[in-house]
Chain A
Amino acid sequence: MATTATLAKAEDRAEVTHAARIEHVSKSFGGPAGGQLVLDDISLDVAPGEFVTLLGASGCGKSTLLNLVAGLDRPSAGSIETPGGRPALMFQEHALFPWLTAGKNIELALRLRGVPKADRRTETERLLDLVRLGGSYDKRVHELSGGMRQRVALARALAQDSDLLLMDEPFAALDAITRDVLHDELTRIWRETKLSVLFVTHNVREAVRLAERVVLLSSRPGRIAHEWTIDIPQPRRIEDSDVAELSLEITEHLRGEIRRHGQH
């Protein structure tokens, strides 16, 4: 039964040309007339299997955009399509439920997705193995380190079996060593699962380290300012000279965007 489901899904994937299509999306908060415009006419496609990072300074509305794609909020104008169903979402905080063990957190996602009880345990073990936390099924959330919690959160997001994974600065709160390791892990898992990823960050090097495409947003309101396609082969290292070179170029653009706000 599981195989036919994956087959059907694979066919679906062959038909669609995008994992997410954002068309002329605008968002303003606080009243229809005098509201503050946060996102202004954003159009962006994420191709199946593509890794895109959204990069921007504070106030560029990148988290807002992610919430819109996740369906947690509605755009004021424009449309968002996610043909693969409800996208999975990972937050900056792990957002694991402390009343459940690591394994039960993942099982809850499976259960809400409608996976039959008999298959849940095996699937959970498989996902834990995927994030290299085999044997941590019974661990309580507070017994895990920050990096382990984010890996369980990633496993829980993968348990949704969505084509599209949205990540909202998921590594921002981690120490540099752990973050570096999780970059390697995420790259590995992305390549293994062939997921589409839309990754939000304000860390330029992180964006270049991970993505096939970097989209720079301007701030207040958020508009697409620039785009880079990256063909440096994976796995990359954040210390690589070509990563550093491109990071420098992108940082210059980012700083230019920020400077504009000081001029008036």
Chain B
Amino acid sequence: MASTETAPKSPKADDLAGLEAGLDALDSVQIRRTPVREVLVKKVLPPLVAVALVLVVWQLLVTLKVTDEFKLPAPSAVWDSLTTMWLEGTLLEVLWTSVSRALFGFLLALAIGTPLGLLVSRVKFVRAAIGPILAGLQSLPSVAWVAPAVLWLGLNDSMMYAVILLGAVPSIANGLVAGVDQVPPLFLRAGQTLGATGLKGAWYIVMPAALPGYLAGLKQGWAFSWRSLMAAEIIASSPDLGLGLGQLLENGRNNIDMAGIFLAIILILIVGIAIDLLIFSPLERTVLRRRGLLTKS
């Protein structure tokens, strides 16, 4: 009681506000944006170095004549195939044929996989019934679907889309299921006390909370779409189908044109990576950064 003079018993409102402002300033997390230079050195340079190294080793193997030229074409030969296609005007056409098929197929898979995933994650009976099958389907190579798809639907675009769907829908649905399963129960309880139950709970709490898992599923779904389509295009080539990257590869094999085959493989790889880098990775990073889930390395 003797200390009441030095330490005021009832703090004035201003004192408390000032104290709190001080605490807030001390405890707050400082968010720093990485400078462009650092991004270039840490993120862009390493993959460029890796690609350059592969090219050097490749050229070295050709120069040393490790194997026959028709088995291992020089990088310059592949480059020539590329420029030839560009000058003929077929390059973009071939790319667009495959990319548009894959993207349209992916969007279809998205439209089917999302409600399917919601159904599996929310309805116990559906989950018990088809959950394991859906998970198992992911390990089935989509090449396996090409044969029945051709017999069911014939050699046309629908058959391509069927193969894409069978490859990508399970990935997307499973991603969503995993995302929903990982929603912390605390969020559900908090939502419940705020009045978010039933459909409102699904819309305001479960869906946004499951978004990171869902996006991971979409990413994988895209990879599966692209792979499935390439399998379909390689196996089921027909003049009616239009020239895609898969057929380009298959034509290379028929003509024993190794440079053409290499070009097709590289293009398939580049498209797969580019879509991921341009669409899915930025989307995923934005979502994770907003939630403070992205740790800066």
Give A residues with C-beta under 8 Å from B: 70, 72, 86-89, 91, 93, 95, 97-100, 108-109, 112-113, 132-133, 140-148, 156, 160, 177-178, 181, 184-185, 188, 235, 237, 239-241
> Using a CB-CB cutoff of 8 Å, which residues 195-247 of chain B contact chain A?
195-196, 200, 204-205, 208-209, 211
Do A95 and B190 have beta carbons less than 8 Å apart? yes
A112 touches which of B13, B19, B194, B291 (Cβ 8 Å): B194
Do B291 and A184 have beta carbons less than 8 Å apart? no
Q: Provided the pairs A86-B195, A113-B195 are in contact, do residues A93 and B186 lie with their beta carbons within 8 angstroms?
A: yes
Closest residue to B30 on the A side, CB-wise? A143
Q: Provided the pairs A142-B291, A143-B292, A188-B16 are in contact, do residues A95 and B187 lie with their beta carbons within 8 angstroms?
A: yes
Do B1 and A241 have beta carbons less than 8 Å apart? yes
Q: Which residues of B contact A99 (CB under 8 A)?
A: 208-209, 211, 287, 290-291
Told that A145-B26, A181-B20, A235-B10 touch, could you supply 10 new A-B pairs with CB distance under 8 A?
A98-B291, A98-B293, A99-B291, A100-B208, A108-B204, A113-B195, A132-B17, A140-B291, A178-B23, A239-B7
Q: Which residues of B contact A160 (CB under 8 A)?
A: 193-195
Q: Provided the pairs A91-B186, A91-B190 are in contact, do residues A235 and B208 lie with their beta carbons within 8 angstroms?
A: no
Give B residues with C-beta under 8 Å from A: 1, 7, 9-11, 13, 16-17, 19-21, 23-24, 26-29, 31, 186-187, 189-190, 192-196, 200, 204-205, 208-209, 211, 287, 290-293
Q: Which residues of B contact A98 (CB under 8 A)?
A: 290-293
- Name the residue in B29, B186, B189, B193 with the highest tally of chain A Cβ atoms < 10 Å from its Cβ: B193
Shortest beta-carbon distance from A159 to chain B in Å: 8
Docked Cα-Cα span, A146 to B1, in Å, equals 32
Shortest beta-carbon distance from A71 to chain B in Å: 8
Q: Which residues of B contact A88 (CB under 8 A)?
A: 193
Q: Which residues of B contact A141 (CB under 8 A)?
A: 291-292
Q: Which residues of A contact B293 (CB under 8 A)?
A: 98
A97 touches which of B20, B187, B287 (Cβ 8 Å): B187
Q: Which residues of A contact B190 (CB under 8 A)?
A: 89, 91, 95, 97
Q: Provided the pairs A91-B190, A142-B291, A160-B194 are in contact, do residues A112 and B204 lie with their beta carbons within 8 angstroms?
A: yes
A237 touches which of B9, B13, B29, B292 (Cβ 8 Å): B9
Q: Provided the pairs A93-B186, A97-B187, A112-B194 are in contact, do residues A147 and B27 lie with their beta carbons within 8 angstroms?
A: yes
Shortest beta-carbon distance from B132 to chain A in Å: 29
Closest residue to A146 on the B side, CB-wise? B27
Docked Cα-Cα span, A157 to B10, in Å, equals 27
B9 touches which of A178, A185, A240 (Cβ 8 Å): A240
Q: Provided the pairs A112-B204, A113-B195, A241-B1 are in contact, do residues A184 and B292 lie with their beta carbons within 8 angstroms?
A: no
Shortest beta-carbon distance from A170 to chain B in Å: 13
Q: Which residues of B contact A184 (CB under 8 A)?
A: 11, 16
Docked Cα-Cα span, A95 to B200, in Å, equals 18
Do B29 and A97 have beta carbons less than 8 Å apart? no
Q: Which residues of B contact A237 (CB under 8 A)?
A: 7, 9
Q: Provided the pairs A93-B186, A98-B291, A148-B24 are in contact, do residues A108 and B31 lie with their beta carbons within 8 angstroms?
A: no
A185 touches which of B20, B21, B194, B205 (Cβ 8 Å): B20
Do A109 and B23 have beta carbons less than 8 Å apart? no
Shortest beta-carbon distance from B104 to chain A in Å: 29
Q: Which residues of A contact B26 (CB under 8 A)?
A: 145
B19 touches which of A100, A145, A156, A181 (Cβ 8 Å): A181
Do B23 and A177 have beta carbons less than 8 Å apart? yes
Q: Provided the pairs A97-B209, A99-B211, A143-B31 are in contact, do residues A70 and B193 lie with their beta carbons within 8 angstroms?
A: yes
Do A144 and B28 have beta carbons less than 8 Å apart? yes
Do B194 and A108 have beta carbons less than 8 Å apart? yes
Q: Which residues of B contact A97 (CB under 8 A)?
A: 187, 190, 205, 208-209
Do B9 and A132 have beta carbons less than 8 Å apart? no
14 contacts between A and B (CB under 8 A): A72-B192, A89-B193, A95-B186, A95-B190, A98-B290, A108-B196, A112-B204, A140-B291, A143-B28, A145-B26, A156-B194, A181-B20, A184-B16, A235-B10
Q: Provided the pairs A143-B292, A185-B20, A188-B16 are in contact, do residues A178 and B200 lie with their beta carbons within 8 angstroms?
A: no
Query: Considering the complex of A and B, which 6 residue pairs feature the smallest CB-CB distances, nearest first?
Result: A142-B292, A145-B27, A95-B190, A98-B291, A112-B195, A89-B193
- Name the residue in A86, A89, A91, A97 with the highest tally of chain B Cβ atoms < 10 Å from its Cβ: A97
Docked Cα-Cα span, A70 to B192, in Å, equals 10
Closest residue to B11 on the A side, CB-wise? A184
Q: Which residues of A contact B187 (CB under 8 A)?
A: 95, 97
Q: Which residues of B contact A145 (CB under 8 A)?
A: 23-24, 26-29
B193 touches which of A72, A140, A181, A185 (Cβ 8 Å): A72
Q: Which residues of A contact B195 (CB under 8 A)?
A: 86, 112-113, 160
